[in-house]
Structure formats: structure tokens, C-alpha cells
Amino acid sequence: MASAHLLFVVPRELDELAGILVEHGAEGDLYGIDAEEDALAYLADRVGQAVGVEFGADDPTEPVYDLMRCLDGRQAPYWACHDAFVEPSRGIRVGPRVFLNLDGTDRRDLRLAWEDGPPALDARTLKAAGLAPSMAEAAEARFLAGAPAPRP
């Protein structure tokens, strides 16, 4: 099973967002929340703050694209990635990708050169995908400020 990870700034409009998160079984910051009303309450307390969610699926692109579409419509910044996986119905190998929408209006779709292991939400991964170092560091500052430092 492949996985996907998203960090996003919670927008003011939550109705569709909460439904997507519950429908796809979001974990991470929403671990244990399986009712749309509970997701709405959780998100309402975090408007304007960064929230992290994770998904596990045979095809992790569906929750990623559903959430990105919703967040793009609300001009909410996000940072997402998914593992490499084999698309179940056609057997096509899909490489790992990283998506970054730092200001809520300009999505960047970045392909990664490696095939094994999940991409991380860190500046090193963004730089490896070809993003300018200053933008990679801006993404870390925007989404990971105050988060515990990863283990080496």
C-alpha cells in the first residue's frame, strides 16, 4: 500500500474539505476522526494554521488530487507528496511526486528521480526535485515552523 502526505493551511470554508478528509480516511492530525461533524469542529479551531494529514491507499493520488482541487478553489496553501506505486487497474508504475502551492495560487508539480521509498516533506526533497533552495526553505518555514525537528 502506498501513502500520501499533505500539509495545508486550513481555509475558512470547510464544508467540502471535511467531507474529503473523512471520505478518504485521513490520519495524521485527524487520526481517529471518522465523522464529518468532528472533522469540521477540529478544522474550525485551526483556521489559518497548518495541519498535516496522511493517507494509505493502493492509489494514493485520489485523496491528494481531491484535496488539492478543494484547496486550490479556496486559495489555501499546501504541500503534498505521494509514494511511487503501481496503478491497480492497469498495472502502470507511477513515480513519486511532490506538489507545492506556497501562496494558494501557484501549484508546482515536481517529479522525483528515485523510485524507492517515500518522499519526505522537507527542503531536501524539494531541492532534489529541482525547486530553488530559497523556495524550498520558504516552504519549510511556512509549514513546519514550530514542528519538532526530524531525527537524523
pLDDT tens digits, one per residue of 107-146 = 998 888 766 667 788 888 889 888 999 999 999 988 887 5
Q: Does a structural domain hold residue 138?
A: no
Whether residue 126 lies inside any domain: the answer is no
Cα of 18 vs its chain's centroid, Å = 15
Residue 130 lies inside a defined structural domain of this protein: no
Q: What is the pLDDT of residue 73?
A: 93
Q: How far apart are CA 81 and CA 146, in angstroms?
A: 21
Record the pTM.
0.85
Q: What confidence score (pLDDT) does residue 133 get?
A: 93
Asked whether residue 127 is assigned to any structural domain, the reply reads: no
CB atoms within 10 A of CB 3: 15
In a domain, 72, yes or no: yes
Residues in the chain predicted with pLDDT less than 50, given as ranges, are 148-152
The residue segments making up the domain with residue 52 are 2-120
pLDDT of residue 116: 63
133 within domain boundaries:
no
The pLDDT score that the predictor gives to residue 117 is 64
Question: Would you say residue 144 lies in a domain?
Answer: no
**Which pLDDT does position 3 carry in this prediction?**
82
Q: Is residue 107 part of a domain?
A: yes
The total of structural domains in the chain comes to 1
